[in-house]
A and B are shown apart, each in its own frame.
Chain A
């Protein structure tokens, strides 16, 4: 295919937008569909077997942190979904760190892989379809060793979840079990991870947590059912559950999206305060740049399953380097106010089943240069803390390396 032809094809694709992508995927022939199903069965079986093998040997999942001051390091992690329409590379070779006692904001438009990233860290992907097929996720165990979450067996994960890493979900209305009293649901996580504690100690800890999350009537709430509480109260309970075992990392996946604005600020303040109280870090996933600006120490910007820019909050908000980030910032109003401007950049994200082999943002980019037609841009360091994946800095910055992707067909054969 000549360069011209390729350009034509891609620009046509960009023009017709997401519909095109969808159409293409739904017009899979019966033969292709059978081929995909067969392939998925084979590959997921192999991956599950490999994982089981790796889980048997602690050496395969114990490792060392690159920097002991980090709680979590993502290192070229790839999470794919083997779906009926083909392999969806939801997250494809992302690398970023969560330093101790800090808040890392992960931003990006809908579908860019933020939730998949956090679920990979918790090993809560919908298996067998969803698999972390490559890279490492290193969790600092605090004793000089680290665990590679990708290979950690399920039993070990169950000890970590709710204990070393906790998660707060978007929907407080449905995250609590409707038929159990609040007290029991908080007790449950404490008992689970502290089997040596007596009933009274557990209850005392629960009460302490309820107080910490700002529940005034804690005795009453202890005996209540979730439906008797408001959304904000329920999210406070979820936070109490998440923090009850003093985890090193709290993942908050859009924790306030379902709440109204005044409650949002309260909940975020609460999270920030508690984080400092128990010396943990927060990985805050959100659409809302205002929230990130108010809370985050570091920001990771994701686009179509890749990290395109990362740095301190100051780097990202005051010196955005990637054209996508620049676009975001342009549409960002005053700090502290909610924005839905992430969607205002013309064009759309490429089809995740069939990613192009050049910069994913090129079809929407107003600044592309001659390098941009080449392969996907490498990570380029433009200051001590600021890294961006864009050819505009190819000459001036320090090239760190290209994101690694996984050849799934090859995985099966070798």
Chain B
């Protein structure tokens, strides 16, 4: 196998993911009318009686999401005049000389200048063209944390540097000062044991749901109730809290409570919640479903191939045709109804939450059913196909019996395409859980996607598109690497390709 080839495939994968994201971004930010993003925002609706505040709120959100640049005349004059000074008051009056200057200046800069509906004051805005919007977004996509990241005018004394040390929980850490995160690298007792805060993907702020959070955090932070445990802060103060020390970030202004807990300015943190993150739930569910579908689909498919045209084969075929012909929505509802009637299982995930095995059983089976069907079909097809190959005839002529031929020769050959498909199945189960997660109210990415679309959470849509396309593209690459391990005829090389 060729490392150069894999690297170039990886780069191509990244490029294709970027292209997908840019397309999704442009579609979402141009086709979704920008007024409709407020439809599900309660805070916005409360402002219905205050037209000036409402307008300002609207333009502020648009500015935050990168649609436009927004300048209030009040902010503009604040730089020129003293707060509450008579000049200031005069300037703000509609029709004043200063106000007209504001208008002339910003119109000259290409802004559109309009007036508030009630006060009649001016404000200016300039639309950001979508390509520039994409460009800004892309340059902010990857954030690298360094000791020079924090620029706090109130804290000129802030030391900048890196050192090795330990965390409050005793893990080894690369500690930053002047960086956004306190612990740039650290170990703890949680999977995957070594964590990093140096490189972060930021997709932008979530709106209108999960306001104020970066969408990536919404997807990767644990959800639910805080899990409290007895802890000791750096100051020696003991408490019961769900704090994750590894997530400590710089806080410019410390309050009294912060000072009791922390010796430095790193006082913002995330807490441990009782349910896995959306991404975690979706990945776990995908892995369980893939394990289940391979665990059942392959043995049944093998059995069907061995009993070709017999009863077992026909029953299996009936099942396959059922899962292909009937829409998954229909049989998942049917299955949920039958299973909850027959067993004491919850019909939604939220009844017992992620920590209870019972919550997982029905969603995982529902997610696995379609892949079980197709795996049965493909396994059967590959084995039957191999059975008719010349090498099987030759193996018989060597004197091997049916069992030996099946175990030694057919299985290995038939497993090649099956192994090739494993990563793609996993990707399919992670990205394809939209129906299942919605039906069972599972708090994963699959449920997030339709609700993000309904709520016009554009940033979230783009982030999900990124995750799903990354998973799919990487799974294709992983499949191609995996197949070289089982099929000696295939090698990944730049020039020859498959030989």
- In the complex, whether A122 has a CB less than 8 A from a CB of chain B is yes
Give the bracket for the number of chain B residues in contact with chain A.
20 to 34
- In the complex, whether B397 has a CB less than 8 A from a CB of chain A is yes
A193–B400 alpha-carbon span in the complex (Å): 10
Q: Which residue of B lies closest to A251 (CB)?
A: B397
- In the complex, whether A178 has a CB less than 8 A from a CB of chain B is yes
Q: Which residue of A lies closest to B396 (CB)?
A: A124
- In the complex, whether B393 has a CB less than 8 A from a CB of chain A is yes
Contact (Cβ within 8 A) A174 B399:
no
- In the complex, whether A241 has a CB less than 8 A from a CB of chain B is yes
What are 11 A-B interface contacts by the 8 Å CB criterion? A124-B397, A158-B400, A171-B390, A177-B391, A177-B395, A179-B413, A179-B416, A188-B408, A192-B400, A227-B489, A241-B398
Mask of B407-419 contacts with A, CB within 8 angstroms, 1/0: 0110011001000
Enumerate chain A residues within 8 angstroms of B193, measured Cβ to Cβ. none
Contact (Cβ within 8 A) A174 B398:
no
Contact (Cβ within 8 A) B397 A161:
yes
Instruction: Give the residue of A124, A167, A177, A238 whose beta carbon is less than 8 angstroms from that of B413.
Output: A177
- In the complex, whether B292 has a CB less than 8 A from a CB of chain A is no
Contact (Cβ within 8 A) B390 A189:
no
CB distance from A334 to the nearest CB of B (A): 33
A contact set with B: CB distance below 8 Å: 122, 124, 154-155, 158-163, 166-167, 169, 171, 174-180, 188-189, 192-193, 225, 227, 238, 241-242
* Candidate in B399, B400, B413 with the most chain A CB atoms within 10 angstroms: B399
Q: Which residue of A lies closest to B401 (CB)?
A: A158
A12–B408 alpha-carbon span in the complex (Å): 54
B contact set with A: CB distance below 8 Å: 389-391, 393-401, 408-409, 412-413, 416, 486-489, 499
Contact (Cβ within 8 A) A161 B399:
yes
CB distance from A323 to the nearest CB of B (A): 36
Q: Which residue of A lies closest to B395 (CB)?
A: A177
Given contacts A179-B488, A227-B488, contact A161 B396 (CB under 8 A): yes
Enumerate chain B residues within 8 angstroms of A175, measured Cβ to Cβ. 390-391, 393-394
Contact (Cβ within 8 A) A178 B390:
no
Given contacts A227-B488, A227-B489, contact A178 B400 (CB under 8 A): no
Instruction: Give the residue of A159, A174, A188, A189 whose beta carbon is less than 8 angstroms from that of B389.
Output: A174
Contact (Cβ within 8 A) B393 A189:
no
Q: Which residue of B lies closest to A189 (CB)?
A: B398
Contact (Cβ within 8 A) B489 A189:
no
A166–B390 alpha-carbon span in the complex (Å): 15
CB distance from A123 to the nearest CB of B (A): 9
A174–B489 alpha-carbon span in the complex (Å): 13
A105–B255 alpha-carbon span in the complex (Å): 102
CB distance from A116 to the nearest CB of B (A): 14
Contact (Cβ within 8 A) B409 A225:
no
A155–B400 alpha-carbon span in the complex (Å): 10
A124–B412 alpha-carbon span in the complex (Å): 23
A159–B400 alpha-carbon span in the complex (Å): 9
CB distance from B283 to the nearest CB of A (A): 32
Given contacts A225-B489, A227-B489, contact A124 B398 (CB under 8 A): no
Contact (Cβ within 8 A) B397 A166:
yes
A53–B132 alpha-carbon span in the complex (Å): 84
Contact (Cβ within 8 A) B399 A179:
no
Instruction: Give the residue of A162, A176, A178 whose beta carbon is less than 8 angstroms from that of B399.
Output: A162
Contact (Cβ within 8 A) B399 A163:
yes
Enumerate chain B residues within 8 angstroms of A169, measured Cβ to Cβ. 390, 393-394, 397
A312–B201 alpha-carbon span in the complex (Å): 84
A402–B397 alpha-carbon span in the complex (Å): 33
A159–B399 alpha-carbon span in the complex (Å): 6
Contact (Cβ within 8 A) B487 A192:
no
Enumerate chain A residues within 8 angstroms of B416, measured Cβ to Cβ. 179
Enumerate chain A residues within 8 angstroms of B487, measured Cβ to Cβ. 178-179
Contact (Cβ within 8 A) B489 A161:
no
Contact (Cβ within 8 A) A174 B396:
no
A158–B393 alpha-carbon span in the complex (Å): 13
A178–B386 alpha-carbon span in the complex (Å): 11
Contact (Cβ within 8 A) B401 A162:
no
Known: A122-B396, A178-B488. 19 other contacts (CB 8 A): A122-B397, A124-B393, A158-B400, A161-B397, A162-B398, A162-B399, A166-B397, A167-B394, A174-B390, A175-B390, A175-B391, A176-B394, A178-B489, A179-B486, A192-B399, A225-B488, A227-B489, A227-B499, A242-B397
A238–B400 alpha-carbon span in the complex (Å): 15
CB distance from A202 to the nearest CB of B (A): 14
A160–B487 alpha-carbon span in the complex (Å): 32
Q: Which residue of B lies closest to A225 (CB)?
A: B488
* Candidate in A166, A179, A189, A227 with the most chain B CB atoms within 10 angstroms: A179
Enumerate chain A residues within 8 angstroms of B396, measured Cβ to Cβ. 122, 124, 161
Contact (Cβ within 8 A) B398 A161:
yes
A166–B393 alpha-carbon span in the complex (Å): 12
A171–B400 alpha-carbon span in the complex (Å): 20
Q: Which residue of B lies closest to A171 (CB)?
A: B390
Q: Which residue of B lies closest to A160 (CB)?
A: B399
A193–B401 alpha-carbon span in the complex (Å): 12
Q: Which residue of A lies closest to B416 (CB)?
A: A179
A188–B412 alpha-carbon span in the complex (Å): 15
A89–B412 alpha-carbon span in the complex (Å): 37
A242–B396 alpha-carbon span in the complex (Å): 12
Enumerate chain B residues within 8 angstroms of A163, measured Cβ to Cβ. 399
CB distance from B413 to the nearest CB of A (A): 6
Q: Which residue of A lies closest to B408 (CB)?
A: A188
* Candidate in B391, B401, B409, B487 with the most chain A CB atoms within 10 angstroms: B391
